[in-house]
Amino acid sequence: MKKTFLLILVLLTALVPVKADEGMWLPLLISSRIDDMQAKGFRLTAEDIYSVNKASLKDAVVRFGGGCTGEVVSPDGLLFTNHHCGYGQIQEHSTVEHDYLKDGFWAMSKEEELPNPGLTVSFLQSMEDVTDRVLKGYVPSMTNGQRDSLVQANSRIITDAINNQAKGIRSSVEGLYYANQYFLFVYKIYSDVRLVGAPPSSIGKFGGDTDNWMWPRHTGDFSIFRIYADKNNEPAEYSKDNVPYKPKRYFTISRKGVKEGDFTMVYGTPGTTKEYVTSDEVRYTGEVSDPEKIALRTMRLDIQKKYMSQDQAVRIQYSSKNASVSNAWKKWQGEAKGLARRKTVESKMDYEDRFRKWAENNQYKGLLEQISSLYERRNPYFRAQEYYNETVSTIELLTFASRVHSALKDGRPVETVADAFYKDYYQPIDEETFVAMMGAFDKQLSSAFKPAYHTQKLAQYGSLEAWRNDLFARSIFTDKDKVLSLTKEDLPKIETDPAYEMYNAYNQWYRKELQPTVSRLGQEINLANRRYMKAQMEFQPDKTFYPDANRTLRVSYGQVAGYNPSDAISYSPISTLKGIIEKDNPDIFDYNIPQTLRDIYAEGGHDDQPVCFLATNHTSGGNSGSPVLNADGELIGINFDRVWEGTMSDLAFDPEFCRNISLDIRYLLFVVEKIGHAQWLLDEMTFAD
Ligand code: ARG
Ligand code: GLU
C-alpha cells in the first residue's frame, strides 16, 4: 500500500509539467527575482539586466513604433523586430514595380536603406519609483478628483523638468498596481529609423492567418531596420547627413541553438494585462464579451471569405482587413476557452470568499460587493458599446462617409481619403455585412440600448434588406467620381446623405448615451480596483506581485518547453525547415513558399534547420519583436506570438498551456544569407561562438 503510494507520488512528480514562470517584472526591481532566475539557469546578474551606471541589456531594447519591441544587434545601430511590426513600413515602400511585401527587400549598402518618417524607437534611459513625489501634499480627506488633480500637477512638475524635445528626451509618470505606486520612465526617442531588410511575405508571414496563434509554427516573422543619429549620436529627424547610431549596448547573437528545458528570458514592452481583477471582470470577458464578439466576427469573416475565394482581386483587397479581424477573433477564442478550462471564475470566487472572511473586520469590508455592483451597472452599457464597435462601426461606407465629411470640414484633400478607401473596397461585402451586423445589433440589444433612429428606420423600411437597398442606392459615397467632386459647400448635402446620416445618428447616440456612463463607471471600477489591489497585497503579504503590463519595459523568464493542448496530443517545442516543406503548397496562399526556398531545400542538408520554438515566458501583445535571450544574455530568438490555448494569460496564467512563440535567430541568419544574400549585415553582427 505504502509502496504504491510512493510510486504514485514519484510518478506524479515526474509528470508535473515544467513549471512555467508567471510574471512580467520591472527591470529596476529584478534583484528580487534574480535568485530564482539564477536557480533556473541564468548566469548574469541583476546589474547586467538593468543599470543606470553602466551599459546593461536594457540599453539594447527599444519600444518600436506604436505597439512593438525591437533589439539592437550591431555597433552600427542595426535593429531586429518582427515582419508584422515592420509591415506598415514595408508596405509604404512597395509599389507595383517594387513589391517588397511580396518579394522582400534587402538593402545592399547603407545608401540603399529606406527612411520612414513618423517611425520612432524609444530607449529607456531610467526608471524610478516617484510615489512620494507624486503624492506630495496628499491627505486622506481628499476626494478622488482632488487626488487625481494633485497627481497630475505633481507628475507634470517632474516630467517638465526632464522633457527636452530638441534632445529627444521624453518622460512619463505611470501608475502601477492601479496607481498605488508611481514610476517615472525617461525615454530617449530616435526618429530616423530606416528599413534595411525584410523577407518576402511568403516567409515573413508564412502560414498567414491559418497558422496565426498556433503551433506548430513556421513563420520567419522578422524585419531589419537601422537607427540613425546626428553627428553627436543624438536623436535627429531624417537627414542624409545622419550617421548610424552607436548604441551603449547591443546583443551578441548565439548560434548554439536551444533545446527543451533551456533557460529563456524575454525583454520587452507588453501592452495590457489584468491579473488582479475580480471574478466579475473575468466572467464578463469569458462568458459575455468574448463569445459575442467571436460570433459577430465569425459572420464578418465568413462574408469576406466567400467573396475573397471567388475573386483574386477581392482577396488582395481584403487580405489585410481580414487579417486584423481574424487576429483578435482567434485570440478571444483561446481566451474564453482557457478561462473556462482552468475555471478562473470559480477559483477567483474561492479566493474572494477567503478575502471576504479576512476583510470582515477591516476597512475592506464590503469592497468586493461594491466592485460587483459597479460591474453590474456598467456591463449593459459596456456591452452595448462593444456591439456598436463590432457592428455599426464595421460598415465601411458609414465610416468612410464620416472621414470624407471631416476632411472637407478641415480643408484636407478628399482624394487621399477616397483613393485609400476605394482601392480596397468591395461593395457586395459591405452590403452583406450591413444586413448581418445590423441584424445582430437589432436582435441582441434590448430597446433601451438602441437609438431611436434605429427603431424608426426599421419601422420605416420594414426590413434590413430594404433599408440597405435604399441606403446603398441613394448614398453618393458608393460613387468615387461624385465623392471626388465634393467641396466644402457640399457639407449640408452630405449631412443628409443616408450613409452619413446613419453614421451620425448612431455616433451621437453612442457619445451621449453610452460613452459617459461607461467611462464614469470605468473610472469608479479603477478606483475600487486600486483599493482592492492594495488590499490583496495586505491579504497575501508573502506573495510577490508583479504590476500589470502597461507598455513599460518588462522581463519575463522561463524555459523552452512544449505542451499538451488536448488529450493524446503532445507538441515538441522546436520546428524546422522540414515542416515548411511539408506545409508548402503553391495552391494555398498562406503556404506558398518562394521557389528559391524550395531550391535551397532541394540541395539537401537543411532538414534540421530550426525555424521557431516554444517557451514558457509570460508575454502579451506588445511583446512582438522582443529579444529572447539565453542564460548568458545572448540573443537566441525574436518573440512574435503566443499559442491560442494560452491567451487567457492576459487575465490568468496557466503554466500548462501558456507558451510564447519565438523565431529561432538561426532561421533569421539563414534567410538573410541564403534568400537575401546580404552577407554585409551578418558581417556587422557579433556572434557568441
Ligand atoms: N498573433 C500575432 C499578434 O498578435 C501576430 C499577428 C500578425 N499575424 C497575422 N497572421 N495576422 O500580433
Ligand atoms: N503578436 C503579438 C504582438 O504583436 C504578440 C502575441 C501576443 O499577444 O502575445 O505583440
How far does residue 289's CA lie from ligand 1's centre (Å)? 21
Residue of 641, 659, 661, 662 to mutate, ligand 1, most atoms within 8 A of C-beta: 641
Which grid coordinates are listed for 42? 541564468
Of the residues 209, 211, 221, 548, only one is catalytic, namely 221
With CA atoms as reference, report the closest residue to 223 among 377, 55, 89: 89
Q: Which atom of ligand 1 is nearest to the CA of 87?
A: 7
Q: Across the strands, what pairs with 555?
A: 25, 267
The pLDDT, as a whole number, for residue 354 is: 98
Q: For ligand 1, is residue 621 a contact (CB within 6 Å)?
A: yes
The pLDDT, as a whole number, for residue 4 is: 52
Q: For ligand 2, is residue 622 a contact (CB within 6 Å)?
A: yes
How far does residue 326's CA lie from ligand 1's centre (Å)? 9
590 an active-site residue? no
83 an active-site residue? no
Q: At what angle do helices 498-509 and 396-410 cross, to 10 degrees?
A: 90
- Rounded-to-integer distance, Cα 482 and Cα 168, Å: 45
Q: Which atom of ligand 1 is nearest to the CA of 326?
A: 11
User: Which residues touch 564 (CB under 8 Å, ≥6 apart)?
Assistant: 17, 570, 571, 656
Please give the single-letter amino acid code of residue 549: A
Q: Is the Cα torsion angle 187, 188, 194, 196 positive or negative in sign?
A: negative
Q: For ligand 1, is residue 650 a contact (CB within 6 Å)?
A: no
Say which ligand is closest to the CA of 206. 1
How far does residue 215's CA lie from ligand 1's centre (Å)? 13
The pLDDT, as a whole number, for residue 20 is: 53
Output phi, psi for 114, to 5 deg.
Answer: -105, 125
Q: For ligand 2, is residue 147 a contact (CB within 6 Å)?
A: no
How far does residue 641's CA lie from ligand 2's centre (Å)? 5
Please give the single-letter amino acid code of residue 267: Y
The pLDDT, as a whole number, for residue 96 is: 76
- Rounded-to-integer distance, Cα 589 and Cα 301, Å: 17
pLDDT means over runs of 10, the chain (689 residues): 47 44 96 96 98 97 96 98 95 86 96 97 98 97 95 98 97 97 98 98 95 98 98 98 98 97 98 98 98 98 96 86 93 98 97 98 97 98 98 98 97 93 96 98 96 97 98 98 97 97 98 97 96 98 96 98 96 98 94 97 95 98 98 98 98 96 98 98 96
The pLDDT, as a whole number, for residue 19 is: 53
How far does residue 325's CA lie from ligand 2's centre (Å)? 15
User: Which residues touch 459 (CB under 8 Å, ≥6 apart)?
Assistant: none
The pLDDT, as a whole number, for residue 15 is: 42
Unique residue bearing C-alpha cell 505606486: 181
- Rounded-to-integer distance, Cα 47 and Cα 280, Å: 40
Q: Coil, strand or helix: which one is 283?
A: helix
Of the residues 122, 624, 626, 662, only one is catalytic, namely 624
The pLDDT, as a whole number, for residue 589 is: 87
- Rounded-to-integer distance, Cα 192 and Cα 575, Å: 35
- Rounded-to-integer distance, Cα 188 and Cα 662, Å: 27
Q: Is 565 exposed, middle or buried (0-12, 13-18, 19+ CB in 10 A)?
A: middle
Sequence-distant contacts of 506-512: CB under 8 A, at least 24 apart: 506/388, 506/392, 506/398, 506/451, 506/453, 506/454, 507/402, 508/451, 509/451, 509/452, 509/453, 510/385, 510/388
Unique residue bearing C-alpha cell 448581418: 436
Output phi, psi for 24, to 5 deg.
Answer: -125, 100
User: Which residues touch 566 (CB under 8 Å, ≥6 apart)?
Assistant: none
How far does residue 621's CA lie from ligand 2's centre (Å)? 4
Q: In three state form, how does the secondary structure of 11-37 look?
A: HHHHHCCCCCECCCECHHHHHHCHHHH
Helix runs in 96-237, H state only: 100-103, 131-134, 144-160, 201-204, 208-211
Q: Residue 79: CA atoms inside 13 Å, Cβ hemisphere, count?
A: 37
User: Which residues touch 171 (CB under 8 Å, ≥6 apart)?
Assistant: 158, 159, 162, 163, 184, 185, 186, 187
126 an active-site residue? no
Query: 660-664 and 635-642: which strand pairing?
Result: antiparallel
Sequence-distant contacts of 483-492: CB under 8 A, at least 24 apart: 483/404, 483/414, 483/418, 484/414, 484/415, 484/418, 486/404, 486/408, 486/414, 487/408, 488/408, 488/409, 488/411, 490/408, 491/405, 491/408, 491/409
Q: In three state form, how does the secondary structure of 61-105 look?
A: EEEECCCEEEEECCCCCEEEECHHHHHHHHHHCCCCCCCHHHHCE
The pLDDT, as a whole number, for residue 11 is: 44
**Nearest residue (CA) to ligand 1, atom 11:** 323
- Rounded-to-integer distance, Cα 393 and Cα 196, Å: 37
Q: For ligand 1, is residue 319 a contact (CB within 6 Å)?
A: no
Q: What is the pLDDT of residues 118-155, one digit of tens each?
A: 999 999 999 999 999 999 999 999 999 999 999 999 99
- Rounded-to-integer distance, Cα 626 and Cα 61, Å: 8
Q: For ligand 1, is residue 328 a contact (CB within 6 Å)?
A: no
**What is the enclosing helix (H) or strand (E) of 455?**
helix 452-461
- Rounded-to-integer distance, Cα 52 and Cα 128, Å: 10
Q: In three state form, how does the secondary structure of 579-619 look?
A: HHHHHCCCCCHHHCCCHHHHHHHHCCCCCCCEEEEEECECC
**What is the enclosing helix (H) or strand (E) of 174?**
strand 169-176
- Rounded-to-integer distance, Cα 550 and Cα 175, Å: 9
- Rounded-to-integer distance, Cα 506 and Cα 512, Å: 10
**Nearest residue (CA) to ligand 1, atom 2:** 641
Helix, strand, coil % in the chain, rounded to nearest 5: 50, 15, 35
Q: Which atom of ligand 1 is nearest to the CA of 624?
A: 12
User: Which residues touch 417 (CB under 8 Å, ≥6 apart)?
Assistant: 400, 403, 404, 407
